[in-house]
């Protein structure tokens, strides 16, 4: 009996790597500061030249791909879109917002994901909890991430963000004590920005997370579309309160992929050499036993190579995913092998079952997750 040849699987797509030398969110704040002085990078619109006041509004979770698929739902954003920026790797809020505020890649600032290795445990960066316990004392945020936000900004940048984030460890890590003017509903974003502009602040940082929350909870269907309409009105309201000489810049930290119930369970063929899991479902780090990393990588590639990019820590660093060579303390936060899906699925960590409730997710290097919008309005509406 002649056996059939093994099926030839299609080659995986190429990952979208962060453009750390060009249009990347890590370079946006410094680009805006330079534009106020008349030096506008070629990937930024000339509208920014010499702006007296700049508002940078981050819409958490609004990807370029999702926006381009729904132009009629967001006419204000669509009309002002100047093209995409890349996020960072992993394309997740903790790493991306820290890069956006510090102007540094994850390899340098050290916030290398949503859940990162911290000694024998795992730190949830957004909750700032180590293996479920409050870590604000045991892992001081300013030691974990020591670089200042918005270097070169004129004065202390006011932050307009959700009020409940004021005292979090992650706010301390990526905002380093900047004055936070809290909002409670979306309308408060407009009021907060208006107040700071009236006070004469030259640079205002605002943050709204409704798109991300909606996508996680409800996916990219009707609820997402309704939230996008609402966000577009929110942006239009901010444009409407810009004083002469002011400019509004809107971007995001990452996009989204709808995963739904598609979750991959790591079986013994992979886990036999693994001591710890970190990261998140779409950028899952495997921490291997000493000497087992090559075997873990081989098993992961054999089992999941048709669904995900499988890379060792060394390869990820060499290929520039994180933006450079991390110092040893940062490198220790990484696992040894990463599973980064290019298909709409996620890799489960039994220690973080809350992820199972997420319908849309992010973290990987697909265009839907890595590309984010850049939209700009001057006070005269241009």
Q: Is 106 in the same domain as 239?
A: yes
Q: Is the pLDDT of residue 284 over 70?
A: yes
The pLDDT tens digits of the residues spanning 184-221 come to 999 999 999 999 999 999 999 999 999 999 999 999 99
Q: Is 352 in the same domain as 315?
A: yes
Q: Is 215 in the same domain as 231?
A: yes
Range 273-302 average pLDDT: 98
Could you give the number of structural domains in the chain? 2
The pLDDT tens digits of the residues spanning 291-339 come to 999 999 999 999 999 999 999 999 999 999 999 999 999 999 999 999 9
Of 278-282, 314-318, 336-340, 351-355, least confident by mean pLDDT is 351-355
Domain holding 312: CATH number? 3.30.1360.180
Residue 237 has a pLDDT of: 98
Q: Is the pLDDT of residue 23 over 60?
A: yes
pTM value > 0.85: yes
Share of the chain above pLDDT 70, in %: 97
Range 75-81 average pLDDT: 96
Domain holding 30: CATH number? 3.40.720.10
Range 353-362 average pLDDT: 90
Q: Is 96 in the same domain as 207?
A: yes
Q: Is 207 in the same domain as 343?
A: no
Q: Is 119 in the same domain as 50?
A: yes
DSSP symbols for 130-182: ETTEE-TTTS-HHHHS-PPSSTT-SSPPPEEEEGGGTT-HHHHHHHTT--EEE
Residue 27 has a pLDDT of: 98
Range(s) of the domain holding residue 193: 25-256+365-378
Alpha carbon distance 348, 351 (integer Å): 9
Q: What are the strands, taking DSSP E only, across the chain? A: 53-59, 81-86, 115-118, 121-124, 129-130, 133-134, 159-162, 180-183, 203-208, 246-251, 257-258, 263-264, 274-280, 283-288, 308-312, 337-341, 346-347, 360-361, 371-378
Q: Is 319 in the same domain as 208?
A: no
């Amino acid at each position: 009996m002649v056996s059939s040849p093994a099926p030839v699987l299609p080659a995986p797509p190429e990952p979208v790597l962060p453009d750390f030398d060009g249009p990347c969110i890590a370079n946006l704040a410094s680009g805006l500061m330079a534009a106020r002085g008349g030096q506008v990078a070629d990937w930024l619109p000339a509208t920014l030249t010499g702006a007296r006041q700049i508002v940078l509004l981050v819409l958490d979770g609004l990807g370029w791909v999702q926006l381009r698929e729904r132009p009629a739902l967001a006419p204000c954003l669509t009309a002002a879109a100047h093209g995409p920026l890349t996020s960072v790797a992993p394309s997740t809020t903790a790493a991306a917002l820290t890069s956006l505020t510090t102007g540094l890649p994850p390899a340098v600032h050290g916030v290398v994901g949503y859940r990162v290795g911290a000694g024998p445990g795992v730190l949830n960066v957004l909750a700032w909890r180590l293996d479920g316990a409050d870590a604000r004392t045991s892992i001081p945020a300013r030691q974990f991430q020591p670089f200042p936000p918005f270097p070169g900004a004129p004065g202390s940048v006011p932050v307009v963000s959700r009020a409940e984030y004021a005292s979090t460890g992650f706010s301390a890590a990526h905002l380093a004590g900047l004055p936070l003017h809290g909002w409670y509903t979306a309308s408060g974003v407009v009021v907060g920005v208006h107040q700071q502009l009236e006070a004469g602040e030259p640079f205002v940082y605002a943050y709204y997370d409704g798109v991300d929350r909606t996508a996680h909870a409800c996916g990219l269907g009707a609820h997402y579309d309704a939230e996008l309409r609402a966000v577009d009105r929110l942006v239009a309201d901010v444009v409407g309160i810009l004083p002469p000489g002011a400019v509004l810049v809107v971007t995001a930290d990452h996009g989204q992929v709808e995963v739904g119930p598609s979750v991959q369970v790591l079986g013994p063929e992979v886990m036999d050499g693994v001591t710890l899991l970190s990261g998140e479902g779409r950028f899952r780090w495997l921490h291997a036993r000493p000497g087992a990393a090559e075997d873990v990588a081989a098993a992961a590639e054999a089992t999941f190579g048709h669904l995900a990019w499988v890379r060792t820590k060394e390869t990820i660093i060499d290929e520039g995913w994180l933006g450079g060579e991390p110092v040893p303390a940062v490198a220790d936060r990484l696992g040894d092998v990463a599973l980064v899906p290019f298909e709409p699925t996620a890799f489960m960590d039994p220690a973080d079952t809350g992820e199972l409730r997420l319908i849309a997710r992010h973290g990987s290097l697909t265009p839907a997750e890595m590309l984010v919008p850049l939209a700009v309005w001057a006070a005269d509406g241009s």
